[in-house]
A and B are shown apart, each in its own frame.
Chain A
């Protein structure tokens, strides 16, 4: 009970893992490309959550190990990941529009021109 009430880094990691699994399930099972992309956003956010949580954890490390108030590398990484996600969403949705124009569908299992 104590472990439940006392929120530690591990809680965030477990939450990130859960979100990651939800995103993976979405990517692997949904046919709608839009939702697949959203699931990818979920995965990225799960990673971001982990990064930010571990950055917080790292701040508590001794300074000789690189910890301290200035140890914000995880957060910077999270910002970069968000940038990446924005770029990825922009390009992915552009591809989606082009694809929809050609095949009149948004089902990812109909994107099979490369299928042996």
Chain B
């Protein structure tokens, strides 16, 4: 076993299937609920479960970002917007559009293709992962993003900050009363 791994994971399949179940059910609830608030709550649940899966994949930093940004930021934004617009009328209307059958068919076709792909490529993914200490994970990501020597994503990071600035300005402009 890898000496770097201090605490090997326990009961991995159980947690995987639990979190996977939560995620699948949450996803299904997101796309089927009439009430957008319910959808949002289901989505938060699914995202939190995904954060758990990130932890299981030894990616604690991404899991943290997932919780903070998604569950704490984006979903709050969603809920605010849901409260700003009136959802009562929308709830009484048709929930699915006219092309729903075609859409499901297309998704099913895509799903069928995925299944065939995975059935074909099962052997591409042999097992036996090396395990690294979790403490080094955040550090390594920081080095990739910020380190002047190894940080190959510095420029992309700066671009992303600019993207966020553009998004802030765009959102403010779009949500203004008069455009």
Interface residues of A (CB under 8 A from B): 4-15, 17-19, 21-32, 34-35, 37-39, 41-42, 45, 48-49, 52-53, 55-57, 59-60, 69-70, 72-73, 75-76, 78-80, 82-91, 93-98, 100-101, 105-109
Contacts and interface: CB of A to CB of B under 8 A. Distances in A.
16 contacts: A15-B24, A18-B27, A19-B46, A25-B107, A27-B103, A28-B100, A28-B107, A31-B96, A34-B78, A34-B82, A35-B30, A41-B47, A49-B50, A91-B171, A97-B81, A107-B90
B70 A41 contact: yes
B159 to A, nearest CB: 9
B132 A69 contact: yes
A80 B156 contact: yes
Contact of B127 (A8, A32, A38): A8
Nearest to A67: B130
A69 B136 contact: yes
Given A7-B16, A105-B89, 20 more contacts: A12-B53, A13-B118, A14-B114, A15-B24, A21-B111, A29-B31, A32-B95, A34-B36, A34-B87, A42-B43, A45-B47, A70-B143, A76-B144, A76-B153, A82-B65, A83-B163, A93-B77, A93-B78, A94-B171, A94-B175
Nearest to A22: B27
Contact of B96 (A4, A29, A56, A76): A29
A19 B27 contact: yes
Residues of B contacting A: mostly = helix
Interface string B124-140: 01011110100011001
Contacts of B130: 59-60, 69
